């Protein structure tokens, strides 16, 4: 475990010395206080005059042989006042006893290899069948191509720190060992690995942004195919996140892909020891390379505790008339859920469902059939528990049903929110969080900006309009939100002019910022990924603030949703997925649709007039990059929309997504089933696109 001590001159040096020492030594049990185990990492951060205190403590504890100074880092930090910036020093202490010295060869071998076709990263990294990933040089080629792209753009790979972790699926642990050996061969000096190889996607982002004082690593490899099933016969994936903690932007992933087409050799240290990633500690190999294996939850949960008011959520959870459940779907979220709900918020162990990470997320015979995908179709166990069916309608009397239920996907960046017999659609959830944002301490002054992906419903736009804040519409995929969150941030401390590292001090600052997607992804600028746990805590915080008085009846999730519709109206919304379609007819369908766009405008279809029809193109307002071909969008004069896209996360064939939306004013009928309301739009979509004829499919495989 790690801790950060922020030194100031308001307390004497001896106070901090004692504190650092007791963290490193641990504290024995006393009276009714439990023992505190020793911590492996103590980070001292200090500004201005406190810097000498940090040096004094580090030097003293090293002399006492209690700790090793693993790193001393300096950077400039913005401060209020005329100085504007001040020097900032971070001293990283590693507990001597937790340090394991290992021998091993650091000799680098250049292995020759040939390009492998199809290594193009999609919406969120490269995803393929696990067996393909396990094939000769498959992972190695992609990893080397990434290092080469980074080095070509002056990312400080050499001598740098790299984060590696994954969602725990089959092949995760082996891949981590390979990446470690390749990273060392490519000059990386320090590798941070989540214990047991686990790091959720948002946690990896939090580690980059906050561990050891923040912004130490140059990036992270996250091993995940997210909600796609895991196992030898299922999917595996890898993605690279940059030094801001966000997914590599398109210019980087394009560069990686180009490299995979010409790669001739990769570098690996074959004699580097295989690391014990099941035991926390800091391993020093050959006196030169440091591998830290650390608790996967500490940085992320530590950050969330700064964003939210845990005490008020704790009070909500303690209420006798409130109960909740949380389904980790046997993905990576289990350890995080236990830490947050049970250890920090005092909920009983029984709130945790499927909280043990499994390599196959429970596999084919589990209720979710191994799809760690939090939606009404796959989160079967939770949906049943919450008293609804797979179209979100109430089932049974509601007796004994918890008041709140939520779930995460395999890599824990997604969330599904449920109330007692009540489903909140992700687009509505985003809008409701926006409308109630100031309940959350991190946002107490409100939002400066927000964004949604293009296929996400326009519910957020209505809130943004009322609050008079900018609302951006981006292509699908979290990487497009990154620039908006980094905009106006000078990020002192980054010296290299590389990749995404060209920060944008001149452009508008939009933080605090909220963003989300219809695909059960919600998040904010505390990290640069969507964050499943964040969304759930946001809802719990809203519930806590709507229920300040325990003697009054509980204001429920259902009520909060309905109250929202009464103010803003309701964006009835559904997504139809046609999975496992042949690529060729899917591409033909999209091409035909694009051609049709030119003539659709102004025409009438089943009594609905087309206002616009286009292939969505995004012009990034921050770095001015252009992303074309992001989905066919048909908008009608009554505000209804039909959108067609091909998925970019599948591992084989094609998945067609059809997004349907119909707006109803606050004075209209707000209590219909979304599936019924959008049905006529779905029929129209099939007619316009010729989908059934081209693909041979009459009905979608999944409706969300
Ligand atoms: C899907 C979703 C998209 C999401 C992406 C990654 O992409 O539609 O909104 O960002 O998955 O989510 P696509 O290209 O298949 O539509 V995750 O949780 O799978 O990393
Ligand atoms: Co995911």
Mode of pairing for the β-strands spanning 67-78 and 235-241: unpaired
Calculate ∠ Cα 699-701-704, nearest 5°: 105
Banded model confidence at residue 494, pLDDT cuts 50, 70, 90: very low
- The whole-chain average pLDDT of the chain stands at 93
pLDDT at 514: 98
**Backbone conformation region of residue 154, classed left if phi is above 0, alpha if psi is from -120 to 50, else beta:** left
Average pLDDT over residues 409-429: 97
Average pLDDT over residues 231-260: 94
Average pLDDT over residues 293-322: 96
Looking at beta carbons, which pairs linking 448-451 to residues 24 or more positions away fall under 8 Å? 448/509, 448/510, 448/511, 448/512, 448/513, 449/484, 449/508, 449/510, 449/511, 449/513, 450/513, 450/514, 450/515, 451/481, 451/484, 451/513, 451/514, 451/515
**Furthest C-alpha separation in the chain:** 82
pLDDT at 506: 79
Average pLDDT over residues 485-499: 59
- Contact yes or no for 477/417 (Cβ under 8 A): no
Kindly report, residue by residue over 524-578, the tens digit of the pLDDT. Answer: 999 999 999 999 999 999 999 999 999 999 999 999 999 999 999 999 999 999 9
Radius of gyration for the chain, computed over Cα atoms and rounded to the nearest angstrom: 25
Cβ count within 10 A of residue 159: 10
Banded model confidence at residue 498, pLDDT cuts 50, 70, 90: very low
User: Shortest CA distance to 542 belongs to which of 561, 526, 527?
Assistant: 561
Banded model confidence at residue 428, pLDDT cuts 50, 70, 90: very high
Kindly report, residue by residue over 590-603, the tens digit of the pLDDT. Answer: 999 999 888 988 88
pLDDT at 503: 65
Tell me the CA–centroid distance for residue 670 and ligand 1, in Å.
29
> Is the pLDDT score of 79 beyond 90?
no
Our answer on whether the CB atom of 290 is closer than 6 Å to any ligand 1 atom is: no
Residues, beta carbon < 5 Å, ion ligand 2: 226, 409, 411, 413-414
Q: Which pTM value belongs to this model?
A: 0.93
pLDDT at 88: 85
Percentage of residues in the chain having pLDDT higher than 90 = 81
C-alpha span between 491 and 503 (Å, rounded):
7
Average pLDDT over residues 682-697: 90
Average pLDDT over residues 684-694: 90
C-alpha span between 428 and 457 (Å, rounded):
8
Our answer on whether the CB atom of 517 is closer than 6 Å to any ligand 1 atom is: yes
> Is the pLDDT score of 502 beyond 60?
no
CA dihedral 334, 340, 341, 344 (to 10 degrees): 140
Please give the structure tokens belonging to residue 369: 């059939």
pLDDT at 501: 47
C-alpha span between 190 and 293 (Å, rounded):
11
pLDDT at 458: 96
pLDDT at 141: 98
Please give the structure tokens belonging to residue 227: 């909600």
> Is the pLDDT score of 44 beyond 90?
yes
Average pLDDT over residues 658-682: 93
Average pLDDT over residues 282-287: 94
Please give the structure tokens belonging to residue 334: 């289990």
Taking CA atoms only, the protein residue closest to ligand 1 atom 4 is 477
> Is the pLDDT score of 187 beyond 90?
yes
Mutate to test the pocket of ligand 1, among 126, 371, 457, 477 (most ligand atoms within 8 A of CB): 477
Banded model confidence at residue 150, pLDDT cuts 50, 70, 90: very high
């Amino acid at each position: 475990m790690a801790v950060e001590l922020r030194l100031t001159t308001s307390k004497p040096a001896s106070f901090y010395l004692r504190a650092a020492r007791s963290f490193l030594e641990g504290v024995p049990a006393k009276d009714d206080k439990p023992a505190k185990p020793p911590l492996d990492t103590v980070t001292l951060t200090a500004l201005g005059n406190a810097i000498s205190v940090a040096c004094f403590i580090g030097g003293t504890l090293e002399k006492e042989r209690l700790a090793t100074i693993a790193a001393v880092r300096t950077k400039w930090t913005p401060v209020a006042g005329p100085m504007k910036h001040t020097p900032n020093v971070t001293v990283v202490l590693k507990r001597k006893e937790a340090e394991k010295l290992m021998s091993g060869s650091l000799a680098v071998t250049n292995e020759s290899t040939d390009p492998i076709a199809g290594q193009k990263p999609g919406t969120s990294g490269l995803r393929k069948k696990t067996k393909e990933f396990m094939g000769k040089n498959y992972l190695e080629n992609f990893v080397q191509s990434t290092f080469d792209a980074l080095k070509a753009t002056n990312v400080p790979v050499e001598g740098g720190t790299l984060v590696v972790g994954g969602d725990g699926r089959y092949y995760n642990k082996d891949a981590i060992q390979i990446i470690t050996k390749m990273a060392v061969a490519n000059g990386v000096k320090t590798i941070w690995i989540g214990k047991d190889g686990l790091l959720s996607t948002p946690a990896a982002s939090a580690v980059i942004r906050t561990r050891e004082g923040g912004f130490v690593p140059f990036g992270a490899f996250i091993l995940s195919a997210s909600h796609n099933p895991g196992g030898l016969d299922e999917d595996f994936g890898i993605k690279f996140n940059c030094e801001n903690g966000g997914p590599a932007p398109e210019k980087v992933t394009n560069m990686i892909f180009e490299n995979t087409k010409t790669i001739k050799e990769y570098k690996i240290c074959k004699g580097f020891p295989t690391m014990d990633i099941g035991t926390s500690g800091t391993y020093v190999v050959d006196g030169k390379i440091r591998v830290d294996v650390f608790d996967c939850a500490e940085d992320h949960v530590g950050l969330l505790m700064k964003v939210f008011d845990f005490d008020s959520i704790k009070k909500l959870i303690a209420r006798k008339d409130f109960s909740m459940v949380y389904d980790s779907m046997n993905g990576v979220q289990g350890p995080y859920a236990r830490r947050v709900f049970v250890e920090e918020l005092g909920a009983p162990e029984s709130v945790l469902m499927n909280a043990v990470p499994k390599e196959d997320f429970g596999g084919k015979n589990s209720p979710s059939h191994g799809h760690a995908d939090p939606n009404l179709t796959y989160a079967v166990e939770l949906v049943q528990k919450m008293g609804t069916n797979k179209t979100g309608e109430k089932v049974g009397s509601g007796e004994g049903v918890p008041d709140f239920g939520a779930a995460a996907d395999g890599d824990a960046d997604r969330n599904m929110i449920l109330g007692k017999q009540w489903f909140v659609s992700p687009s509505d959830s985003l809008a409701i969080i926006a409308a109630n944002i100031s309940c959350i301490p991190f946002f107490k002054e409100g939002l400066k900006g927000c964004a949604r992906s293009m296929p996400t419903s326009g519910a957020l736009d209505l809130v943004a309009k009322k609050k008079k804040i900018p609302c951006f519409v981006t292509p699908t995929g979290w990487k497009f939100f990154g620039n908006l969150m980094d905009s106006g941030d000078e990020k002192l401390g980054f010296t290299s002019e590389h990749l995404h590292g060209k920060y944008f001090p001149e452009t508008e600052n939009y933080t605090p910022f909220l963003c989300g997607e219809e695909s059960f992804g919600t998040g904010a600028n505390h990290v640069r990924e969507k964050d499943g746990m964040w969304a759930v805590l946001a809802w719990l915080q809203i519930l806590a603030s709507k229920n300040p008085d325990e003697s009054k009846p509980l204001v429920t999730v259902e009520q909060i949703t309905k109250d929202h519709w009464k103010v803003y109206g309701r964006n009835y919304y559904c997504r139809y997925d046609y999975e496992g379609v042949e690529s060729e007819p899917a591409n033909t369908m999209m091409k035909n649709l694009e051609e049709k766009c030119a003539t659709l405008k102004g025409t009438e279809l089943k009594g609905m007039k087309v206002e616009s029809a286009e292939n969505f193109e995004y012009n990034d307002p921050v770095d001015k990059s252009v992303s074309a071909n992001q989905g066919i969008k048909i908008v009608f004069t009554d505000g209804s929309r039909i959108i067609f896209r091909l998925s970019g996360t599948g591992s084989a064939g094609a998945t067609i997504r059809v997004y349907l939306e119909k707006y109803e004013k606050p004075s209209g009928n707000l209590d219909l089933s979304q599936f019924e309301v959008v049905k006529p739009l779905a029929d129209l979509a099939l007619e316009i696109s010729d989908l059934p004829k081209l693909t041979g499919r009459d009905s979608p495989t999944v409706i969300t």
